[in-house]
Structures are given as structure tokens and as C-alpha cells.
Amino acid sequence: MSKASDQAYEELRSRILSGELAPGTQLKEEELATLCGVSRTPVRAAIRQLEAELFVRRTDSQRSFVAEWNNDDLEEVFVLRGMLEAYAVRRAATRANASVISGLNAANEAMRTVIEALDFDLPAYLAANARFHALILETAASDRLASLLGKLVLQPVVQQTVRAYSREQLLRSYREHVEITTALAQRDPDWAEALMTAHIRRALHARLEPAEG
Amino acid sequence: MSKASDQAYEELRSRILSGELAPGTQLKEEELATLCGVSRTPVRAAIRQLEAELFVRRTDSQRSFVAEWNNDDLEEVFVLRGMLEAYAVRRAATRANASVISGLNAANEAMRTVIEALDFDLPAYLAANARFHALILETAASDRLASLLGKLVLQPVVQQTVRAYSREQLLRSYREHVEITTALAQRDPDWAEALMTAHIRRALHARLEPAEG
DNA sequence: GAGGACTATTTAGTATACAAAGCACTTTCT
DNA sequence: AGAAAGTGCTTTGTATACTAAATAGTCCTC
């Protein structure tokens, strides 16, 4: 995409994530065009993109709304994401080199630093987490897999998941990342896959049952 | 989508499937607009749709080309499709009712009829095959899963796969469908899943090594 | 003759005006 | 009063003209 399309996309995406455009809100092209300071054309492109990424749903009569999430949707996304990320990490295990491993270690260190800090820096945590998963996906070297996962790694979901985490759960998640990294360094696809499956599954349950700590 | 967009989409899709728009061909909006008898706007929408479905790939500089397929791409798609269809049939196993089972049986019967006929009717075979898989997907009742699989059930691939099949292989595929149907009727998710995984995996190998019969 | 920059041509992106389709409200008929 | 049809308003779809970017081809320089 180009300038105006990107602008519209970023603008809408961030407003959806922040909740300014709440779930269920109807997205009207003209209104959004004014909001983003571009014409309807790039707004249309942005909406279609967000629709492909499941941030937006479309009715039969072609009207767009900010997607709403119930527990079934949530479980569905986590299960699918679990399958695909497990496959990704399996592929990554046979492709990871020293530079990948050190990249993963760096992301893990960043995450630990955030967790151990006195005031919790959510954006930094999310960035480190995203870097870890993105690096694995990149190492898996599968365009199609990346394209599918792109539609499932839904930031609002992850965000809420992290909010629901206690510090102990965050630490546990960090340790899982470290162990996955070890499995990759050992080039053990089975180990990596099993760990990733458990990792994603734990995130689902953390999200379904609010943290107790 | 609406009239012009649909028209452009169908037009382009069928020309890609037929090979008239060969893999590697650059898709130029203006040219295609003339071809489809609509303006560039709906053509753009159609191209983006085909891109999401992986029929079309896009370069960094936003130019579009008909996707080319090598064996790695093929394997990747089959593996991903295998995972997702296995999950679909697992869900379907707990949701299938009598009407679903009879629908699957009908598709299977249609497939058998085509295989046993003297001159092989490829479109009829593909239709029966598609009906079987579509019905399972529908029974799985997961919008997101459907959306992901929609991007992977690539007709050109399936088409070539069937061409590569010998009559014996076709019969084997038919029998697998029958057995999957039985597993669903028994509401046995594990059985259904294992069968589906094997079914898709066999299709991959049939495609990779041309038929000997 | 090769490399690099400039220009022309091709192609995609954007804005805008107009057309068509939905939706909601009102009004009318039973 | 309820249902159905009509009408106007809202929203999306399409065409087209214009803008920006990228590519390829040419010419100049070394």
C-alpha cells in the first residue's frame, strides 16, 4: 500500500485497538475518510485489509462493523493460532541458525527486564513478545503460513491476555519462551512444537479465567 | 461484492484456472478492465481478492502477477490444508447430524458414479469432491476456519492432482471419503481426523509423483 | 564500451462525481 | 392496529480524471 492507504489503515487499526472505535461500531467510509484526512478510496482499501485480518466484519449488505469477540471466537483463534504456530516453530527448528537464536535471546531478555521492572511497561512487553513470535515465523520461511498467521495474531486479543496475566504468569510465559529457544537451539522440532502448543494453550486459559494474582 | 466486482473476479479467476492467464503473467489493471468490460475500480477489488486467495502475488512495487507454483509451495499448501481440514473434520464429528451424513453420502455416490463411468467427467468429479469437503467445513461451523481454508483450497492444485490420479487412486480417494463419512456418523473425532490427515497427505504424494496407472 | 543519470512511458494510487442499492420511516389500506 | 408499499435519506459501488511512482530506454560521460 501507499501513503494514503497506509495512513488510513494505521489510523483505523489503532483506533480499533484503543477502543475508540468500539466493537459493533459501524464503519462509514465517508466519515472515516474525513477522520483520516484522505478520500474514500484509500479508506475502502484499509477497511478491506482490516476485514481480511478479522478486525472488521462485513454484513451481507456490504456494511462494515468493528468485530465483536465472544469466548467461542477467542477459543477458535487460539486453537487455530496454536496449530499454525506449532507448525511454524517445527519448521523453524530445522532452519534456525546462531543469529536467530541470539535474536530470540535478545527478545527474551527484553521481556524479562520489563517483567522485573517496578512499573510494568505494557507496550514494551508486547513488543518483545511480538518480536519473539515474529522471528520464529520469519525463520519458518513460509509465505503462506505467514499470511495465514497474519490474520490470527490479533493484537487486541493478545493485549487483553497480557492484562489478564499476573506477574507470576508473565514470568511463566517468559520461561516458556526461553525453553522454546533452547529447543530451537537444539534443533528439536518435536520439543519445540510441544512447548509452543502448551504456550499458546496456556494463553487461552489465562484469557478465559481472569488472573487470580 | 457487487455486479461489476463479481464479474471481474469471476472473469479473472476462470482465466487463471484455464491457464489463459498463465503463471507469471503480469496483471495490468487497465488491460484487465478492458477485458472484463468494467472500469479499473472493480478490477482492483478483484485483484486484491485473488491476491488474498493466493492466486495472485504482488511485488514490493505493487505490481501483480499470476502466482507460480513449485513443489515446495505445493507441499506447504497441502500440509497447511491438512492441518486445517483435520481440525475441521474433528469439529464436524461432534456436530454432524443425519442430514449432514446423508449429504456426504450423496456426494460420495456422485463421485463413485463418475469414477465408474466409461468416459471420465472431470468437472463432475471436482464438483462432488468440493461438495464433500465444503459440507464438512460447513458442519465445522467456524467462520474463521472457513476463511483460512478458503485461501488454501486452491482449485488449480486440486485440478492438477486429479489429472495425476489413476482410476485406482480415484477409487481409493472415494473409499477414504466413505470411511470419513462413517467416522463422522459414529461421531468419532479421532478417527475422522486421522483419516482426513491421511487423505490430504495421500493427495500431496499423488501430486508430487505422477500416477503410474 | 560500461556506468550512471535523465527522461519518457507505463502502471498503480487517489480524489471526486455520479449511480445504485439498502434501510428506515411514513403513509395508506384493510 | 398491523402489514405492506412507497419515498426519501444514507451508504456503498463504479467510472473517470488526475497524480505519483517505478521501470525501461536513451544519451551522455568517462
DSSP states of B162-196: HHH--HHHHHHHHHHHHHHHHHHHTT-HHHHHHHH
Give the model's pLDDT for residue A147.
Answer: 79
* A34-48, A52-66, A193-207, B154-168: least confidently modelled range: B154-168
Q: Is the pLDDT of residue B146 over 50?
A: yes
Give the model's pLDDT for residue B3.
Answer: 85
Task: Look at A9 and B158; give whichever has higher pLDDT.
Answer: A9
- C1'-nearest nucleotide to the CA of A61: C22
Q: Is the CB of B105 under 7 A from strand D?
A: no
Closest chain A C-alpha to B92 CA, distance in angstroms: 14
Which run of H or E residues covers position B65?
strand B64-66
Test A144 with B73 for CB contact under 8 angstroms: yes
Task: Choose from A208-212, B4-8, B209-213 the range with maximum mean pLDDT.
Answer: B4-8
Give the model's pLDDT for residue B23.
Answer: 92
A153 touches chain B (CB under 8 A): no
Query: Average pLDDT for residues B82-92, to the nearest whole number?
Result: 95
Distance A33 CA to D5 C1' (A): 35
DSSP result, A44-104: HHHHHHHHHTTSEEE-TTS-EEE----HHHHHHHHHHHHHHHHHHHHHHHTT--HHHHHHH
Distance B14 CA to D9 C1' (A): 39
Closest chain B C-alpha to A41 CA, distance in angstroms: 9
**pLDDT tens column, B90-115:** 999 999 999 999 999 999 999 999 99
Q: Which residues pair with A58 in a beta bridge?
A: A64
For residue B26, give the nearest of B61, B77, B70 by alpha carbon.
Answer: B61
Distance A120 CA to C25 C1' (A): 52
Give the model's pLDDT for residue A123.
Answer: 85
Share of chain B above pLDDT 70, in %: 92
Q: What is the pTM of this model?
A: 0.82
Please enumerate in sequence order all residues whose Cβ is within 8 A of that of A182, keeping only pairs 6 or more positions apart, or say none: none
Test A73 with B144 for CB contact under 8 angstroms: yes
Neighbour count for residue B18 (Cβ, 10 Å)? 10
Give the model's pLDDT for residue A213.
Answer: 41
- Which amino acid appears at position B165 of this protein? Y
Rounded CA-CA distance B181/B210 in Å is 28
Q: Is the pLDDT of residue B46 over 60?
A: yes
Test A83 with B79 for CB contact under 8 angstroms: no
Rounded CA-CA distance A99/A72 in Å is 39
- Which amino acid appears at position A83 of this protein? M
Rounded CA-CA distance B112/B19 in Å is 28
- Strand C: which positions are within 7 A of a protein CB? 10-17, 21-23
B2 touches chain A (CB under 8 A): yes
Distance B61 CA to C5 C1' (A): 21
Q: Is the pLDDT of residue B26 over 60?
A: yes
Give the model's pLDDT for residue B156.
Answer: 59
Give the model's pLDDT for residue B133.
Answer: 94
Task: Tell me which DSSP letter residue B117 carries.
Answer: S
Give the model's pLDDT for residue B213.
Answer: 41
- Confidence band of B208 (pLDDT split at 50, 70, 90): confident
Please enumerate in sequence order all residues whose Cβ is within 8 A of that of A167, keeping only pairs 6 or more positions apart, or say none: A115, A120, A213
Task: Tell me which DSSP letter residue A187 carries.
Answer: T
A53 touches chain B (CB under 8 A): no
Query: Average pLDDT for residues A106-129, to the nearest whole number?
Result: 92
Residues of B in contact with A52 (CB under 8 A): 52
Query: Average pLDDT for residues B4-25, to the nearest whole number?
Result: 92
Query: Average pLDDT for residues A41-63, to the nearest whole number?
Result: 92
Residues of B in contact with A147 (CB under 8 A): 54, 151
Q: Is the CB of A2 under 7 A from strand D?
A: yes
Task: Look at A152 and A177; give whichever has higher pLDDT.
Answer: A177
DSSP SS3 for B209: coil
